Structures are given as structure tokens and as C-alpha cells.
Amino acid sequence: MARTARIADIPSLGTLDRTAGNLSRQIAQALREAVRTGGLEAGDDLPSTRLLAASLDVSRGTVTGAYEQLIAEGFLEARAGAGTRVAPGLLASHEREARRGRAHRAAPDPAGLRQADETQAARERSRGVRLPEPAAAFARIAREFRPLPPVPFAVSVPMGATAPADIWRRLGNRLRAKGPGGPAGYTDPLGALPLREAIAAYVRKSRAVRCEPEQVIVTSGTQQGLFLASQVLLAADNEVWVENPAYRGVTAVLERTGHGQTMRRIPVDAEGIDVDTGIRIAPRARAAFVTPSHQYPLGMPMSMARRTALLAWARANDAWIVEDDYDSELRYQGYPFPSLQGSEPSRVVYLGTFSKILFPSLRLGYAIVPEALVDAFCGARVLMDRHPPNADQHVLAAFMAEGHLERHVRKVRNVYAEYRARLIATLGELLSDDIAWVEPGDQGMHLVLWLARGTDDRAVAESAASAGVSVRAVSPMFAPGTARPGLVLGFGGFSHAQMRAAAQRLAAVIVEAVGKSVHKGRRRSSGQQR
């Protein structure tokens, strides 16, 4: 591949800025860029310093300086009597990318030099860099939480009818330019007051939450709310109730980031968390993380009897309740219970998010906390990330104050109700009841498709990914030894045609997987398993 590079191969030279000083350094940077992006390849001869200087209209010394710098760095190689070439061992960035597929890469490749890379690898092996103890567990979490490709049935891809309207953009253009939404210094860790006021008004009205704006903490979404609650509410060796099954975002936080507190998984049945069992297993737990409006992932509401029992236990035991009211805007069946928080504002931390009803990439949500805990949540938040970014808080506050959110919710609710019904019908057509069946819960933006006993739902999710379908396995949401196989399917953000086509591919994957599990002799006996 070695050839003499033409100046046209180095388009980055076009970005030289003569007013910015040190042209040598700029030329050196342009050449590095050209290697990185592939315009220059390992072994290529460079133009002579005389030619390049003339073409750039700079002094020859300027170009020589750049070449000398890069020779010192190992990017270039001077050959006696034969000009300068790109070091033959150099790998362009796109080649390095291609090498990333390898399961075990020998070593970092920070300088982009293959030889240096190998030397470095050898040095690291001899040094034996030992990873820190927590690294392996966090790396597993990264793999588990990797975002799904934005194809059906990834949860929460705002598109088409469910994307926020142009009004969002217009408010942004207006409010982000200047005033309180414009560039600013460090602001309130609890969030911008207009947004906290809008959120307080919204949850008072829509969820019977009892709060003042001073109790509202703007978060980056439910995940941050869960993290903050675990930090503030739990000390070392405290026990905590968590539903079984539960959102992995809760159980992973309590597994990894706690101070040694013990998570007690409490079963859920058709009425929600089984409070009697909780009291039997861990009567002195300091907190309970629950999803009373619709259990995650199953979707049924917590019954009034269980709500009463849970609150009575919390009062008697001086315990805290963390109420994750995810997808609170989206209900399709029956009359919604008001929030638990409204019954016991001094013991409940209430969590909500705009990720689902607006869009996830906004990263805005809220925690509403007992007044006695506001300062503690504020301190925990400061140490995590100081405060939420400012601008979009003001955009969202205006969006809410002007009534756009409520209109948006009404629209989205209707769209999703139809999507959900259609998806349930399609799955019913495609999959017989002894292979897979839909959980009858009311989950907002996803549904659970149970799979016949013995099916490996993680393997199904992987096969589905290969077939271009995004689903998550349900079994990791259960405590070890209690899992049932199933899939979480989001139904937002895609056309009916896309969802139908994906459902067909998914059904084929499931039928094959369940067939395999039958060969292994573990097919579910017969009849209903719900």
C-alpha cells in the first residue's frame, strides 16, 4: 500500500488557522489526524518539506519543525536520502476499530503505534496490572445495561406521534438563549425552582402527592432517585425490602453501591408485594423499595389492603418507603390508585421520571422527599454531580406551566393504548398459548411475554437480537432460584408495520427456542401457568 501521499490526502491541512499561532504544531496535528482518519497510511511517503511549505505558503522551517516533532513521537520515520514516511508500524484509527472485535485485546493502544502497542502490551504483561476489586462487577453491570438497538421492542424510543411536538424545540430556542435558562454558574443542587413548582403542581393534581416545591428534587431520572435513596436511607448492615421480581436498576444499585446492607427479596402476588412475608423475613428492615401503582415488571397495582399493611409496618418499624411511580401517566385499565406518598408524606420518597412520557435522552426526573430529608438528599446529590444541567429544566418548566405536558400525556396515552392492544393481538395470533402468553398487567410502555417453562430467556433475547429484534429477558429481574422465563417488550415509538414484522421474527425465535427446550424434556406440563 506504500505510495507517495498527495497533499489532497491530508484534508486536515485545510483547517490551519494562521491567526492561532504555532503553525508547526498545527501541521503536526493535521498529519496525526490524517493518520487517524486513514488519509495517510503506514508506510506512505510524505510530500517533501519544500513542496508542502510551498503549497501551504509557509516557511520551510515550519514544515520541518512539524516533521521533526512527529519523528520524535514515532509517527513518522526519516530515511537517509529517501525523505520521510509514515512509520510502517502505525495503525489508523479505523483499523484499530476493526481489531476491537477480538475478545481479548492484548493491551491499550493509546499512541496508535502498532510497535509501541506491542511493546506496551509486553510491558503491561510483565508488570501484571491488577484490576481494582470492584471493576469486574461494574463491568458485568455495563454489559447487562447496554442500551438496546432502537428497533422493536426496545422500551422508550420516542418517535412519530409520541415525540414531543415542535413546541418543545421552540421553547428551547427561546429559553436557552438568555435569562435563567441561559448559560449560568453553579445553581441549586435541588433543581430550578420553576421546574420544582411545576412538578409539585403536576404530581399533586395527577397523583395526589402531598408536597411543596421545596420537597421536589430534580433528578436525572428514576435511576438517580433510586441511587440517592439508597445512599440517604440505608446505613451499613441495614436490611431493605425489594420486590421479587424487580427492576434491575434497583437490585444492581443495592448489590453494588451500598455500604454492605442486605437486600431481602419479598415475593409479589396478584396484590403486589407480600407484606406478611416481608415482616416474617425481615421485620426490622429500614426501607422498602416498591412499585405500588403497577408492579415492575408485572404491572398489577398493589391492593388497598397491602398498602395499608405496608404503611402500618413502616410506621411501627420507623421504616422508609421508596415509591417508584414509573410510567405513572400511562394506565389503560381500571381506576388508578393515588400515590402511597399521599397517604404518608413523612415516610415516603416518591420517584417519577420524564424519560418515558417525554424522552429518555432528556435525563430529567424527580424525587419528592419528606421535608426532614431534603437537606440529606441535597448533600448526596451534590457529591454525585453537583446539580442538574440548567437549560432544559427551564424549558421543561415552561412546557409544563403552559399545559403542553398534559396535552402530550393525553395524546401519548391514546396512542400507546392502541399500540398495546395491537401488539397483544398480534402475539396471540402468532404464538400458541402453551409456548408464550402475555402477562395481563398494566405496565405503561412495555408488556411481559412469559415463555414456556424451561426456556432460556436470555438465549432467546440473544437470538432475537441477531434477528434484529430488541427484547430483555425477565429472569434477571428475579432473585436467584425463583426466576420464570419471559421477555419484556416495549411498544412505544414504532409503527404497527414495524412491530408486526418484528413480532413475526420474534415468534420464530421463540418457537425454535421452546422446541429446543422440549427436546431437553423440560416443556411445561399443560394448561395455564399464570
Ranges within 120-159 binding a second copy (CB under 8 A): 120, 124, 127-143, 145, 147-148, 150, 154, 156-158
- CB closer to a second copy out of 391 and 436: 391
For the chain, what is the largest distance between any 2 Cα atoms, rounded to a whole number of angstroms? Answer: 90
Q: Which of 24, 29, 49, 293 binds a second copy (CB under 8 A)?
A: 29
Under rule CB under 8 A, which residues in 370-409 are in contact with a second copy? Answer: 370-373, 375-380, 382-392, 403, 406-407
- CB closer to a second copy out of 313 and 320: 320
CA distance 133 to 197: 43
Helix (H) or strand (E) holding 86: strand 84-86
Q: How far is CA 4 from the centre of its chain?
A: 46
Give the 3-state secondary structure of residue 217. Answer: strand
- Torsion angle of the four alpha carbons 473, 476, 481, 484, in this order, in degrees rounded to the nearest 10: -30
69 binds a second copy (CB under 8 A): no
Under rule CB under 8 A, which residues in 333-362 are in contact with a second copy? Answer: 345-347, 355, 358-362
- CB closer to a second copy out of 57 and 166: 166
Distance of closest approach, residue 277 Cβ to a second copy, in angstroms: 24
Total interface residues for a second copy by CB under 8 A: 130
Which value, in Å, is the radius of gyration of the alpha carbons in the chain? 29
H-type alpha helices, 10-128: 23-37, 49-56, 60-73, 93-99, 114-127
Q: Which of 213, 338, 454, 476 binds a second copy (CB under 8 A)?
A: 213
Which region, judged by CB under 8 A, interacts with a second copy, from 211-219, 433-441, 451-459, 479-487?
211-219
Distance of closest approach, residue 354 Cβ to a second copy, in angstroms: 11
Under rule CB under 8 A, which residues in 85-124 are in contact with a second copy? Answer: 93, 96, 100, 105, 107-112, 120, 124
Under rule CB under 8 A, which residues in 189-208 are in contact with a second copy? Answer: 189, 201, 204-205
Distances (CA, A) of 48 to 13, 54, 69, 83, 413: 15, 10, 15, 7, 67
76 binds a second copy (CB under 8 A): no
224 binds a second copy (CB under 8 A): yes
Distance of closest approach, residue 473 Cβ to a second copy, in angstroms: 17
24 binds a second copy (CB under 8 A): no
**Strand 472-473 to strand 486-490: parallel, antiparallel, or no bridges (unpaired)?**
antiparallel
Distance of closest approach, residue 125 Cβ to a second copy, in angstroms: 11
Who's near 335: CB < 8 A, 6+ residues apart? none
Q: Which of 231, 291, 293, 517 binds a second copy (CB under 8 A)?
A: 231
454 binds a second copy (CB under 8 A): no
179 binds a second copy (CB under 8 A): no
Distance of closest approach, residue 133 Cβ to a second copy, in angstroms: 4
Cell, residue 336? 388508578
**Strand 486-490 to strand 446-451: parallel, antiparallel, or no bridges (unpaired)?**
antiparallel
The one-letter amino acid at 188: D
Cross-strand bridge partners of residue 412: none
- CB closer to a second copy out of 379 and 515: 379
505, burial (CB in 10 Å: exposed 0-12, middle 13-18, buried 19+): middle
184 binds a second copy (CB under 8 A): yes
Under rule CB under 8 A, which residues in 242-281 are in contact with a second copy? Answer: 249, 252-253, 256-257, 259-260
Given a contact cutoff of 8 angstroms between Cβ atoms, the answer to whether 352 and 324 are in contact is no
Distance of closest approach, residue 201 Cβ to a second copy, in angstroms: 7
Under rule CB under 8 A, which residues in 474-503 are in contact with a second copy? Answer: 493
DSSP E strands, 188-255: 216-219, 239-244
Q: For residue 90, what is the DSSP state? A: B
CA atoms lying within 13 Å on the CB side of residue 32: 16
410 binds a second copy (CB under 8 A): yes
168 binds a second copy (CB under 8 A): yes
Q: Which of 2, 11, 14, 15 binds a second copy (CB under 8 A)?
A: 15
- CB closer to a second copy out of 214 and 276: 214
In three state form, how does the secondary structure of 380-449 look? HHHHHHCCCCCHHHHHHHHHHHCCHHHHHHHHHHHHHHHHHHHHHHHHHHHCCCCCEEECCCCCCCEEEE
Under rule CB under 8 A, which residues in 293-332 are in contact with a second copy? Answer: 315, 318, 320
- CB closer to a second copy out of 267 and 360: 360
